[in-house]
């Protein structure tokens, strides 16, 4: 489990995984999570906020990002995944949504 803080207007992510999945839970601020299937091009978006806490699942084969939509507030996100980071096999591949 990690806590990620994004400054106003910042986009983070822009990557996908072969086997790793992640859960993002925004606990403060207002943001947008975007995902795109790298094989089919299908896209989904989730508007998220600390006012309505929910978990959004990032699954293998979907490139994803999270954008802080606020001009003044930080976006605070709790993140967890099913695999510990392995620097020899990072399973993280850059690809814009």
Q: Can you give the residue range of the structural domain that contains 25? A: 2-84
Instruction: Look at residue 93 and tell me if it is in a domain.
Output: no
Instruction: Look at residue 90 and tell me if it is in a domain.
Output: no
CB 60 within 8 A of CB 17: yes
Q: Which CATH number is 68's domain given?
A: 2.60.120.10
Instruction: Look at residue 92 and tell me if it is in a domain.
Output: no
Q: For the chain, how many structural domains are there in total? A: 1
pLDDT in tens, 82-96: 998 899 999 999 999
Instruction: Look at residue 89 and tell me if it is in a domain.
Output: no
pLDDT in tens, 14-52: 999 999 999 999 999 999 999 999 999 999 999 999 999
């Amino acid at each position: 489990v990690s806590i990620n803080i994004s400054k106003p207007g910042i986009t983070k992510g822009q990557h996908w995984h072969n086997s790793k999945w992640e859960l993002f839970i925004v606990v403060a601020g207002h943001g947008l999570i975007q995902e795109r299937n790298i094989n089919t091009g299908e896209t989904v978006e989730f508007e998220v906020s600390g006012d309505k806490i929910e978990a959004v699942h990032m699954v293998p084969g979907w490139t994803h990002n999270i954008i802080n939509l606020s001009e003044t507030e930080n976006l605070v996100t709790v993140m967890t995944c099913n695999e510990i980071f392995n620097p020899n096999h990072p399973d993280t591949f850059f690809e814009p949504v």
